[in-house]
Amino acid sequence: MLKEKLLELRQQALSTIDSADELKALQEAHVRFLGKKGPITEILKGMGKLSKEERPVVGQLANEVRQLITARIEEKRADLEARQLEMKLESEKIDVTLPGRKTAPGSHHLLASIIREVEDLFIGLGFSIEEGPEVEQDYYNFEALNLPKDHPARDMQDSFYITDDILMRTHTSPVQARTLEKHKGVGPVKVICPGKVYRRDNDDATHSHQFMQIEGLYVDHKVRLSDLKGILTVFAKHMFGADREIRLRPSFFPFTEPSVEMDISCFRCGGHGCNVCKGTGWIEILGAGMVHPNVLRMSGFDPGEYTGFAFGMGPERIAMLKYGIEDIRHFYTDDIRFLKQFYRA
């Protein structure tokens, strides 16, 4: 009876497997005939009740039936998977003759474009580019620039301190101090120092805790204030138009003496007065001055033999003035609608 039952199960299983038209039905057939509670397993469990003569015959037949069903299931599974893949490929066919999607080309960020333009100008004037660490020592950020620990001018720059002696640099002037020190008292030194700086400002339309800065330094024999004015005049005409005029107003910076603020004649109204220049005809652009003797001395230069000038400007301010941008935060929010306006700036 067991032999007949096995032969019947074989025929039934093969018929069920052959009629399966999807993988789910095939898996159900596998569980039904070969599972732990399937009929073949039950027969193998009951072989202990058989006589010694019947046991090897039934056992051999049961194993043959199980192997045959297993082989047929694997064969059917491979066939179903191949058909399923073929149907998927047919339904997801791509027409390679269709035009592809155009990828919009990228461009430089507006601030990067301003910095590159300034760099190109000053490289043409004989300057080189120097960079330095954004996480800076207090010594180079303040003391080497004539700002000792008890100097009241330090209150003008609330800073992000990491330790008592390490901070996020508040200007790129430390790069100038490091460059002077590297030259060991021998000129000339003629560099510009672009980079990111950090101050504890409350973010608003005109202030940011992080912004860009470009500073310049020229130290050599007999460098004069008139040389500084000539360089700044070239800069103003290049960036804001050939008909620009400049004026220098007295100011104060601890690391320069004398110190000046540079204004340019308003490029919007030509100096007659408008909302851009607030009716004065002039727009403040940058600060500058002759390098303080103490700064030269601390960097190993003899102020009796060498003189120099330094200046500092903000790319954000230049961009805001040139392109009528009213909020400095636009530069850092990565709004593509804003950035696309300056694709070819």
Specify the DSSP class assigned to residue 290: E
CA pair distance 230, 223, nearest whole angstrom: 12
Listed as own residue / partner, the contacts of 66-74 with beta carbons closer than 8 Å and 24 or more positions apart are 66/34, 66/40, 68/10, 68/14, 69/10, 69/13, 69/14, 69/17, 69/33, 69/34, 69/40, 70/34, 72/13, 72/14, 72/17, 72/18, 73/17, 73/26, 73/29, 73/30, 73/34
CA pair distance 300, 3, nearest whole angstrom: 106
CA pair distance 289, 292, nearest whole angstrom: 8
Residues 217, 189 contacting (CB under 8 angstroms) = yes
Chain length of the chain: 345
Residue 332 identity (one-letter amino acid): Y
Binding residues: 257
Binding residues for Mg(2+): 257
Dump the DSSP string for 57-123.
HHHHHHHHHHHHHHHHHHHHHHHHHHHHHHHHHHHT---TTSPPPPPPP----HHHHHHHHHHHHHH
Residues 290, 225 contacting (CB under 8 angstroms) = yes
Q: Two tokens at 317?
A: 């301010």
Angle, alpha carbons 36-42-47 (nearest 5°): 135
CA pair distance 210, 332, nearest whole angstrom: 9
For 305, what's the count of Cα atoms within 13 Å in the CB-facing half-sphere? 8
CA pair distance 192, 197, nearest whole angstrom: 15
- Nearest by Cα to 342 from 119, 124, 117: 117
Q: What is each CA distance from 54 to 11, 57, 302, 342, in whole angstroms?
A: 22, 5, 114, 91
